[in-house]
Amino acid sequence: MNYGIIGYVLVRLLRLEAGLLSLPLLVALIYQESWVNIGAFGLSIVLLLLVSLFPRKNKNQSMTFYMREAFIIVGLSWILLSFFGSLPFYLSGEIPSLVDAFFETSSGFTTTGSSILVDVEALSKSMLFWRSFTHMIGGMGILIFALAVLPKMASDGVRVAKAEVPGPSFGKLVSKLSLNAKILYIMYIAMTGVVVVFLLLGGMSLFDALIHAFGAAGTGGFSNKVLSVGFYNSRYIEAVLGISMLIFGMNFNLHYIFLFGNKREILKNEELKWYLVIVFLAIIFIGLNIKSVYGLGQGLRHSFFAVSSVITTTGYATVDFAKWPLFSRLIIMVLMVVGGCAGSTSGGLKVSRVVVLVKSGLSQIIKSRQPGRVQNISYEGEGLSEGKIISIQNYFMLYMLVLTVLILLLSFNYSDLETAISGALTAFNNIGPGLGQLGPSSNFSSLSDFNKLVMSLAMIAGRLEILPIIVVFMPSSWKKLL
C-alpha cells in the first residue's frame, strides 16, 4: 500500500480544483456580484490551497502504484472534490445546509443533475455557473483531466484511467496516455463549443447557452430554469440539445475515428448500432403511447427529447414525463438502466454491457436445449472470453445489489413504489429527474439528511461504476497487507 502516492495525487487534484474554481470567481466578478459570493469562492480556493500544502512530497516517494491505490485515489478524489466543490454554495449561504450543498455538488460532478433546490432561478449567476461547470469537469473525468495537464502523473496513470472511465473495457486512441487524455479533452471542449454556438444561434443568451451546453456535454442536466429546457419552448433548441446529448452519449473513441479515421468503421460498431436501435424504438413506442395526450407530431417531439435525455442520463426535460401513461414511464425506467455507450460521458449500465448480458442470457436457452453445444458469444465481431462475460455478469449483480439497498433506504422517505425505485435509479444511473414525486417538475429536497448523503455517495458510485467507492469504504483495503 503506497499511502504516499495517494496523498500526492490527491493534493495535486485539490490544487487543480482550486484553479478551476477561479472560473466561477471570474463570473462573479464580471456580473459584479456581492462580496459574499466573491468571498465564498475566494475562501474556498484558499482552503483548498491550504489543505493541499499538508502532505509534503517525500523525496524518496515511490511513484509506482497498483489497482488498489488507483481505486482509492479515484474514489477518494471524487468524494473530496465534491466536498470542497460544495463549499462556495455553503459559504455564500445560497445553499444553507452543507449536506444539501454536498448533494448538489456530487450531483454536478457525477453529471446526475438531481437537485435539492426548490427554486433554481434564485441562485446567483456565479453559483449557477459553478453548478453547471461541475458537469463539464465530471463528464470526462477529473483524473483524465489531471492526466492531460499534469506531467509526471502518467507513469501508472493507466490504472487510474481504467478506474475512472466508464464502461467494461478501457480503449486508448493513441499509445501515450497523457496524449490520449489531451485528445479526449480537446475533442470534448471543441464539441461543447459547437453546441454553445448552435444554442446562441437559437437565440439563447451566452450565459444560458454555456449552462445548457455544459449540461448536455457532461450529460448532466442542470438547467438555470425551473422548467428546464421546456422554458424556451423552441423546437430548434430542443433539436440541438436532443441531438448533442445523443452524440455525447456515444463512445468518444468513435468521435475520434469519425474526425480522424476511417468513417466506415463507425458503421461496424455494434454498440452504436444497438444504441441507435434502442433510441429509435423507444421514441416510436413512447410517441405512439402519448399520441392521445399531445397528438402524433408533438408526441414524437417530446418523446424524442425525453428518450435522448434519459438514455444519455442527462435529465433535461421539456414536459413533465412523470405524468405520461404507465407504458411510457416504464420505458423511461428501462432506458435509465440501459444508459449510454461505454467511454462516453453518460451513466447507467452502458449499452455494451446490456447487449452482452442479453446475449449470454439467450445463449443459455440454446445450451439447455442442446447440451454440449459450444457457443461463442460474440461482441464487436469478436468472441468474448468466459472471464469477460462473468465479470460483466458480476458487475450486473453488484449493480442490482446496490440498487436494492438504495430503494430500501429511499422507502423511508417516500410512500409509493414508483418514486422509491425511480429515485434510486435516477441517482445511481446519474440521470437527474425520476418519476412519481421525483418527476422533472419536482426535486430531492424532501429527502432526509442521511439519505441525501447516501444518495450523494450513490451518485459517485454510479459515475465510477461502483467498485472504487466500495473499495474506499472497505477497511481491509487500507491495510498494509492485502
Residues that bind other proteins (CB under 8 A): 1, 64, 66, 480-482
What's the closest the beta carbon of residue 1 comes to other proteins, in angstroms? 7
Q: Which is nearer to other proteins, 66 or 450 (CB)?
A: 66
What's the closest the beta carbon of residue 231 comes to other proteins, in angstroms? 53
Q: Which is nearer to other proteins, 267 or 482 (CB)?
A: 482
What's the closest the beta carbon of residue 68 comes to other proteins, in angstroms? 9
* The three three-digit cell numbers of residue 451, written as one number: 439519505
Is residue 78 within 8 Å of 460, Cβ to Cβ?
A: yes
Non-local CB neighbours of 238 within 8 Å, separated by 6+ positions:
229, 232, 301, 304, 305, 318
- In whole angstroms, what separates CA 396 from the centre of its chain? 18
What's the closest the beta carbon of residue 480 comes to other proteins, in angstroms? 5
Give 225: exposed, middle or buried? Use CB within 10 Å, 0-12, 13-18, 19+: middle
CA triplet 448, 47, 4: central angle to 5 degrees?
Answer: 95
Non-local CB neighbours of 427 within 8 Å, separated by 6+ positions:
112, 114, 406, 455, 458, 459, 462
Is residue 341 within 8 Å of 319, Cβ to Cβ?
A: no
Q: Which is nearer to other proteins, 365 or 482 (CB)?
A: 482
Please state, in angstroms and rounded to a whole number, the distance separating the CA atoms of residues 69 and 267. 38
Q: Which is nearer to other proteins, 158 or 227 (CB)?
A: 158
Please state, in angstroms and rounded to a whole number, the distance separating the CA atoms of residues 312 and 298. 21
CA dihedral 146→316→269→183, nearest 10 degrees, is -20
What's the closest the beta carbon of residue 67 comes to other proteins, in angstroms? 8
Residue with cell 426535486: 443
Q: Which is nearer to other proteins, 70 or 183 (CB)?
A: 70
Q: Which is nearer to other proteins, 70 or 91 (CB)?
A: 70
What's the closest the beta carbon of residue 70 comes to other proteins, in angstroms? 12
What's the closest the beta carbon of residue 174 comes to other proteins, in angstroms? 24
Q: Which is nearer to other proteins, 264 or 480 (CB)?
A: 480
* The three three-digit cell numbers of residue 240, written as one number: 440541438
Please state, in angstroms and rounded to a whole number, the distance separating the CA atoms of residues 19 and 420. 38
CA distances from 401 to 13, 165, 406 (A): 31, 22, 9
What's the closest the beta carbon of residue 153 comes to other proteins, in angstroms? 19
Is residue 457 within 8 Å of 341, Cβ to Cβ?
A: no
Q: Which is nearer to other proteins, 58 or 448 (CB)?
A: 58
Beta bridge partners of residue 121, listed in sequence order: none
Is residue 166 within 8 Å of 343, Cβ to Cβ?
A: yes
Q: By C-alpha distance, which of 99, 66, 93 is closest to 457?
A: 99
What's the closest the beta carbon of residue 181 comes to other proteins, in angstroms? 24
**DSSP string for 251-264:** -HHHHHHHHHS-TH
Burial string for 285-313 (b: 16+ CB within 10 Å, else e) reads ebbebbeeebeeeebbbbbbbbbbbbbbb
* The three three-digit cell numbers of residue 371, written as one number: 447440451
Q: Which is nearer to other proteins, 64 or 262 (CB)?
A: 64
Q: Which is nearer to other proteins, 365 or 481 (CB)?
A: 481
Q: Which is nearer to other proteins, 374 or 481 (CB)?
A: 481
What's the closest the beta carbon of residue 64 comes to other proteins, in angstroms? 7
What's the closest the beta carbon of residue 2 comes to other proteins, in angstroms? 9
